[in-house]
């Protein structure tokens, strides 16, 4: 058996597509340590710097004192602890929905929810750049799967016409993200809602990278567009701006009750540990507080600074990658809807992306290369993320270093 996989690994290495774990020896933060070296971290999703926040740590420790470490069983057996219910009430109130349900990860939320909503008799129409968890959930459901080019409303409309023509009585589920994880741009939510209503479809929106970042108190894109009621299934994760771990679905009471009965990743998995859940409650409380809103606005100052500096990169250069980067940044400036804490620096070639990441690491910056299959072949990139915990001079320094290496 080893021979077989050794050959496959060799083939991955030959195409610069092999992956390796790096050991991080400190807590999350704008600086982390690898191999005894401090690196400035521009690749974390801990957008508000909450992953090592004293309030969250205290909440976790208090929950361990009260509930111990493990939940002991699934939620439907004996694992349904008070913190789970408190978190779900807090999430529903914060997101403005009737109810919420927590899963042990965002991945598990997608994998459990999508097959509970549709089956092989139904149709899913999915944005091409959707996260792997949404793709895997869609495949697992067995529904007929149609993919539309990224944010391409006309193509989506054609798929919906086709679905209504060929499967008139079936459920049609549109799946997309509010902020795309590897490109940092946003979905045209208002137009998507208009289409879903016209074709009588359901809409599932993954707010993973919008939560905590976009909208008042970080409620996400549906809230900022005032479309909370129109989005049937709001998915999110506690593991990015909320600094902890776990996924959630927000929606109607009926939806949540259905998921409790049908979402297999919820039913057949041990409940998340109380410590993590209590830390997530502290994170939601923080986001709802004036201090939380201040932190989110600080994040936007940092995002705006990064955008400004990135716009200056590549001036007078002809490389396609740099032009693309400038375009990304320009679109962000002219269209405030195109903004997030994610800045993709598209390099293209996988080996070149690895080399650029290695060069940055040798100068003290951690920005790992993102390659196929996370992004399309030949679209390798550095995915730069900004957090509220970054200092202005750290943002300036990484941009200068990138500029030097792109010369």
Ligand X SMILES: Cc1ncc(COP(=O)(O)O)c(C=O)c1O
Q: What residues line the site for ligand X (CB under 6 A)?
A: 105-107, 131, 133, 177, 181, 206, 208-209, 237, 239, 247
- 131 in catalytic set: no
Q: Cis omega before residue 290 (within 30°)?
A: no
The residue (of 106 and 338) whose beta carbon lies closer to ligand X is 106
User: Which residue has 């944005």 as its token pair?
Assistant: 127
The residue (of 131 and 371) whose beta carbon lies closer to ligand X is 131
- 84 in catalytic set: no
Least distance CB 105 / ligand X (angstroms) = 3
The residue (of 221 and 309) whose beta carbon lies closer to ligand X is 221
Q: How far apart are CA 205 and CA 253, in angstroms?
A: 17
Q: What is the DSSP string of 380-399?
A: EEEEEE--TTS-HHHHHHHH
The residue (of 307 and 383) whose beta carbon lies closer to ligand X is 383
Least distance CB 342 / ligand X (angstroms) = 10
The residue (of 47 and 107) whose beta carbon lies closer to ligand X is 107
| Active-site annotation holder among 84, 159, 240, 390 | 240
Residue 54 tokens, joined: 């004293």
| Active-site annotation holder among 84, 131, 159, 209 | 209
Handedness of CA 170, 263, 93, 216 (dihedral sign): negative
- 245 in catalytic set: no
User: Which residue has 């459990």 as its token pair?
Assistant: 112
Residue 365 tokens, joined: 């910056």
Least distance CB 235 / ligand X (angstroms) = 7
Q: What is the DSSP string of 126-193?
A: EETT--HHHHHHHHHHT-EEEEE-TT-HHHHHHHHHHHHHH-TTS-EEEEEESB-TTT--B--HHHHH
Least distance CB 311 / ligand X (angstroms) = 25
The helix or strand, by DSSP H or E, that contains position 361, with its residue range, turns out to be helix 350-362
Nearest 10 degrees: Cα torsion 397, 401, 402, 403: 100
Least distance CB 179 / ligand X (angstroms) = 8
CA angle 312, 317, 322 (to 5 degrees): 65
Which residues 6+ apart lie within 8 Å of 12 measured at CB?
Answer: 18, 19
Least distance CB 237 / ligand X (angstroms) = 4
Residue nearest to ligand X (CB): 106
The residue (of 133 and 332) whose beta carbon lies closer to ligand X is 133
> Hey, which residues are catalytic here?
181, 209, 240
């Amino acid at each position: 058996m080893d021979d077989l996989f050794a050959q496959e690994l060799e083939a991955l290495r030959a195409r610069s597509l092999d992956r390796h774990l790096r050991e991080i020896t400190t807590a999350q933060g704008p600086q982390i340590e690898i191999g005894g070296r401090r690196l400035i971290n521009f690749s974390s999703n801990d957008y508000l710097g909450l992953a090592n926040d004293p309030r969250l740590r205290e909440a976790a420790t208090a929950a361990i004192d009260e509930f111990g470490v493990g939940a002991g069983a699934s939620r439907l057996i004996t694992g349904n602890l008070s913190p789970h219910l408190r978190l779900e009430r807090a999430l529903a109130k914060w997101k403005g929905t009737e109810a919420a349900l927590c899963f042990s990860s965002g991945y598990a939320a997608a994998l459990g929810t999508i097959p509970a909503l549709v089956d092989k008799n139904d149709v899913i129409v999915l944005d091409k750049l959707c996260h792997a968890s949404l793709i895997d959930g869609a495949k697992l459901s067995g529904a007929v799967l149609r993919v539309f080019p990224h944010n391409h409303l006309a193509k989506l409309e054609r798929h919906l016409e086709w679905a209504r023509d060929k499967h008139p009585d079936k459920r049609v589920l549109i799946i997309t993200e509010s902020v795309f994880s590897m490109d940092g741009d946003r979905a045209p939510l208002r137009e998507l809602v208009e289409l879903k209503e016209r074709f009588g479809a359901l809409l599932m929106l993954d707010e993973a990278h919008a939560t905590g970042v976009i909208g008042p108190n970080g409620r996400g894109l549906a809230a900022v567009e005032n479309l909370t009621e129109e989005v049937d299934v709001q998915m999110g994760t506690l593991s990015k701006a909320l600094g902890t771990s776990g996924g959630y679905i927000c929606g109607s009471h009926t939806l949540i009750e259905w998921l409790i009965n049908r979402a297999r990743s919820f039913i057949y998995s041990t409940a998340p540990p109380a410590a993590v859940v209590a830390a997530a409650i502290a994170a939601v409380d923080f986001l709802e507080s004036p201090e939380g809103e201040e932190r989110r606005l600080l994040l936007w100052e940092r995002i705006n600074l990064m955008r400004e500096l990135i716009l200056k990169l590549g001036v007078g250069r002809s490389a396609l990658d740099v032009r693309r980067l400038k375009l990304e940044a320009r679109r962000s400036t002219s269209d405030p809807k195109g903004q997030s804490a994610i800045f993709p620096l598209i390099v293209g070639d996988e080996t070149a992306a690895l080399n650029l990441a290695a060069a940055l690491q040798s100068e003290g910056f951690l920005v790992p290369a993102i390659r196929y299959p996370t992004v399309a072949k030949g679209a390798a990139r550095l995915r730069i993320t900004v957090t509220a915990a970054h200092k202005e001079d750290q943002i300036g320094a990484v941009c200068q270093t990138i500029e030097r290496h792109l010369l």
